[in-house]
Structure 1
Amino acid sequence: MHSRGWRSVYCVTKRDAFRGTAPINLTDRLHQVLRWATGSVEIFFSRNNALLASPRMKFLQRVAYFNVGMYPFTSGFLILYCFLPALSLFSGQFIVQSVNATFLVFLLGITITLCLLALLEIKWSGITLHDWWRNEQFWLIGGTSAHPAAVLQGLLKVIAGVDISFTLTSKSATPEDGDDEFADLYEVKWSFLMVPPITIMMVNMIAIAVGGSRTLYSPFPQWSRLVGGVFFSFWVLCHLYPFAEGLLGRRGKVPTIVYVWSGLISIIISMLWVYINPPAGRTQDYLNFQFP
């Protein structure tokens, strides 16, 4: 319609014009985001692409439609950013070669800019800070799970002609037997979309353990690199916290042995990494002790 020159008006009524039900289950929610992202990818590769629109479409409309069709492709950079802190802790090298004043000023400028953008979004949308933070968290969860799958499905349809079949998501409904209204929220249904976020969480947690072990056993510990890597890994884990909470389901449902085994496996992997790749100073001291 916009490509043909029609004008539209964004209308917000005092009362809700339409109401409907939405999935509250983690798996169903991810599949819904997958459908949305796949539709954006299909539009991007179709003749309705904003870049190929008629001259009647305005410039800002063209930018908006291009953003809608392009955002699933940014998931590759997002996944890379989530793994960078872990790679920094595994290798013992910080993300940048040297932490100098220029880097800190640059990082401070970016942080302040992001904070101002967040305040602008909160004031424009009229939501609370908690709601905005939840939206940011789910943006990262969907960006590392549903968006890459949507890009893959879109490319398969364009290149190989593979049709994509969607499954309807179950919507939450009020139970008739008087049970918990949000019982569907605690149901965990396994999906391949959960693999990337789980991998990111496990890699970052193991990287924190490995980085801490290397720093503690090193004769010349570099605490600045450890603190920097742990900070960014912890920032990634903070965004994925709702995903982990939804994956565990209802509180008290997961046995304690799961946490015990998870911690034990992380400790074993970190000790194995230190044994395979020990700090250079400790290896040289050991060789000098054995062969004076």
Structure 2
Amino acid sequence: MYEQMKKRIENVVESGKVSEYITSEEEHEAFIKWNKEFTRQDHPAVIQVLLESCKDKDVTGFPMPNLIYVSREKSRTSPHQFKAGALNTLLRVSAVMTNGPIILIQDCDMISNDPRTPYNVLCYFMDASIRPKLAYVQFPQCFKGLNKNDIYSSEMKRWFHINPMGMDGLLGPDNMGPGCFFTRRAFFGGPSMSLFVQPELPQLSPDHEVNSSIKSKHILELADRLAGCNYEKGTNWGSKIGFRYGSLVEDYYTGYHLHSQGWISIFCQPKRPAFLGDIPITLLDVINQQIRWGVGLLEVAFSRYSPLTFGMQALGPLMSLCYANYAFNSIWSIPITTYSFLPQLILLNKIYIFPKVSDPWFILYAFLFLGAYGQDCLEFILAQGTLTRWWSEQRIWLIRGLTNELFGSLEYLIKIMGFTTQGFHVTSKLVDDEQSKRYDRGIFEFGVASPIFLPLATAAIINLAALLHGTMQILKGGNFDESFVQLFISGFGMVNCLPVFEAMVLRTDKGRMPIKTTLISIISALCLYIVASFILKI
């Protein structure tokens, strides 16, 4: 059945026609609304009931669940919120058609991996001691197809596993988007009835009972109206009701507001992952995905709802610092970029800025470095990680500081100055056979001449040059005592950049670093050295 479906889809993509595969009246009604003038960004709402539980049964005679296709209205003249707007549309349409009290949020690339998941969730939602204040139950994001060493740290163990376990001891984990079961009531104000926000239509209330068939004319007409792109004007949707607007990371922002209103959440982490998702297998796709996250988090960090101001009052110091840890994550680009360039450029000019090995202050530097990395490694291993995957996470953390965190911070600054930015982009999960083979072998995928790789490649070259220069100076009788720390930082940076050197020099496949990027990075490194030398002489 799957192979037949795959073949039909490929034929439709190739021919551009679906008419030959329309076999039922319901499908015909859905597609007849479309014409040649409609595009992905300009079309009316399309709502079609494909399965109705009271009528449709499987081959064994058991009722099938309701299955309803919803595509909200879009218009070029009426800007719409991104993913949060789509979720609020689904929230309204589902309210008038079924109004189920529990809602599961999933991405299109997620699959169910454990049939007991709903049972696990109901154990929490039916617990009378926590039910009145429980907003959602969050499962960790888990992924299929990771290579042995998880070279891009796509598992994101710290964000999706370690940090949520700590937050679970406070008010509960942040909302990660996919794999989250919400109670519908949580989207309509705080847990106390005095904080309840009444929706503009009684049919949207979480207490409304749907007594009509989901195929009835008045239900479908109302659902069509609720999916309109102008419906939310003059309402509380996105501000007091539903998923919150104001950040590209609507999941994090919504969970933050729910906790601020007094709701709690639960982190459910069974041994068998509840859901599995796909991962990007190229470094550029990983970076682009996290640029969007970085911009969205900074939107929260420097808004009126900043965790350091509003969060302190609403959540208390510990929970607000947990949220601040995410919100200000892109700020890591400042120290990482500084340590990637400054000590090395100064070392190339024979200037030493760190304590000597014989200086008592050196012990503090060594303690902070070894302590931080040791603690991080211990937490990672205790969370059922491996040493090789921990090293991949450390390496990609430094790479992110020079790529997505740096560019995300710049994009945010451009955005607040009023200029147009790239906005929301869905991460590509398409798999090329050759790329997939390289990923399975643990080989980094560059292959695209992108400016995002320039800071990384430039830092790799400067670190290598500083290490070679410093080593030569020591062999000539230089002062090892003074230069050790800067030499160590250069060596540490070079070791982390080994995949970059391999992509620049040793590889011949399509995933290598483009020659154009390599040449520009060499020129950039040389210019930085000249500028640094000139400034230091002054």
Output the TM-score relative to the length of structure 1: 0.75
Output the TM-score relative to the length of structure 2: 0.43
The structural deviation recorded for 1:62 is 0.7
2:380 maps to 1:122 = yes
Residues 233 and 27 (structure 1 numbering): CA distance in 2 closer, same or farther, change over 3 Å?
Answer: same
Residues 160 and 34 (structure 1 numbering): CA distance in 2 closer, same or farther, change over 3 Å?
Answer: same
Looking at structure 2, the residues matched to 140 and 216 of structure 1 have their Cα atoms a distance apart, in angstroms, of 30
2:447 maps to 1:192 = no
| Cα offsets for 1:18-65 (capped at 9, x unmatched) | 222111111111111211111111121233321224844243221111
Match of 2:288 among 2, 27, 31: 31
Residues 248 and 208 (structure 1 numbering): CA distance in 2 closer, same or farther, change over 3 Å?
Answer: closer
SS at match of 1:78: helix
| Structure 1 equivalent of residue 343 of structure 2 | 85
| Structure 2 equivalent of residue 102 of structure 1 | 360
| Structure 2 equivalent of residue 138 of structure 1 | 396
Q: CA-atom RMSD, angstroms?
A: 3.4
CA contact (8 A) 1:188 1:249 kept: no
Match of 2:413 among 149, 155, 159: 155
Residues 57 and 186 (structure 1 numbering): CA distance in 2 closer, same or farther, change over 3 Å?
Answer: closer
SS at match of 1:8: strand
| Cα offsets for 1:51-89 (capped at 9, x unmatched) | 224844243221111111112112111111112331232
SS at match of 2:259: coil
Higher strand share: 2
Output the amino acid matched with 1:188.
Answer: G
SS at match of 1:31: helix
CA contact (8 A) 2:280 2:428 kept: yes
Looking at structure 1, the residues matched to 436 and 406 of structure 2 have their Cα atoms a distance apart, in angstroms, of 32
| Cα offsets for 1:235-268 (capped at 9, x unmatched) | 01112223444x449945499xx8xx99xx99xx
Higher helix share: 1
2:255 maps to 1:5 = no
| Structure 2 equivalent of residue 211 of structure 1 | 470
Residues 211 and 248 (structure 1 numbering): CA distance in 2 closer, same or farther, change over 3 Å?
Answer: closer
| Structure 2 equivalent of residue 169 of structure 1 | 427
Length, aligned pairs only: 259
| Structure 2 equivalent of residue 182 of structure 1 | 437
Higher relative contact order (CA 8 A, sep 6+): 1
CA contact (8 A) 2:341 2:459 kept: yes
The structural deviation recorded for 1:97 is 5.6
Output the amino acid matched with 1:16.
Answer: P
Looking at structure 2, the residues matched to 249 and 39 of structure 1 have their Cα atoms a distance apart, in angstroms, of 36
SS at match of 1:16: coil
Please identify the structure whose Cα radius of gyration is greater. 2
CA contact (8 A) 1:72 1:151 kept: yes
Looking at structure 1, the residues matched to 275 and 500 of structure 2 have their Cα atoms a distance apart, in angstroms, of 29
Output the amino acid matched with 2:329.
Answer: Y
The structural deviation recorded for 1:116 is 3.5
Output the amino acid matched with 1:235.
Answer: F
| Unmatched segments (≥5 aa) in structure 2 | 1-257
Residues 97 and 137 (structure 1 numbering): CA distance in 2 closer, same or farther, change over 3 Å?
Answer: closer
Looking at structure 2, the residues matched to 221 and 248 of structure 1 have their Cα atoms a distance apart, in angstroms, of 31
